[in-house]
Amino acid sequence: MKVAPLLFAVLLSVSAQAQRVDSIALPYDLQMTDGYKPLLHQRNANRVLGGWSVLSMGTGAFQLSSPNPFVKAMGLQNLIWGAVDGGLALYGSHRLTTTTWGYKDLQKERENFRRILLINTFLDLGYLALGFSLAKAANPKWHGHGRGVIIQGGFLLLFDGINYALTF
């Protein structure tokens, strides 16, 4: 399978980054006056997104081996979205470990994180609309792509919406 070496390399990278984040003493206990801990929240969100990424890519790699065009198309969507989600989780983790954090930065970080999550929530609605549109196709390949986009967009809508609500 051509995808297996790429999947293995990405999984190793995600694992190494997670270990790096855990080994660096970050001020996760820095909290705002209302008790919100933005760095801890972002670390946990990156872990959830990274886990979803691994699950998506693993499922996608398995689905790509199917002779069924519907399943194969869904697998391609899972693999691609999983890789993008993994890249975002790695970037977020890297950013946490390479930035010097102080108490003054926390409010700005909370506002930036909240804004990104709100924008992403609206984008997720667009992904779902696209997915439902594609899923109506008579062609099994396009139907599979649509279902894959619905699954990924649905997860991201929940992920972004819940994390947005947690920033208040």
What pLDDT was estimated at residue 11? 57
The conformation of residue 27, written as its DSSP 8-state character, comes to -
Q: Which residues of the chain have pLDDT under 50?
A: none
pTM: 0.82
What is the H or E stretch that residue 124 is in? Answer: helix 105-135
What pLDDT was estimated at residue 79? 97
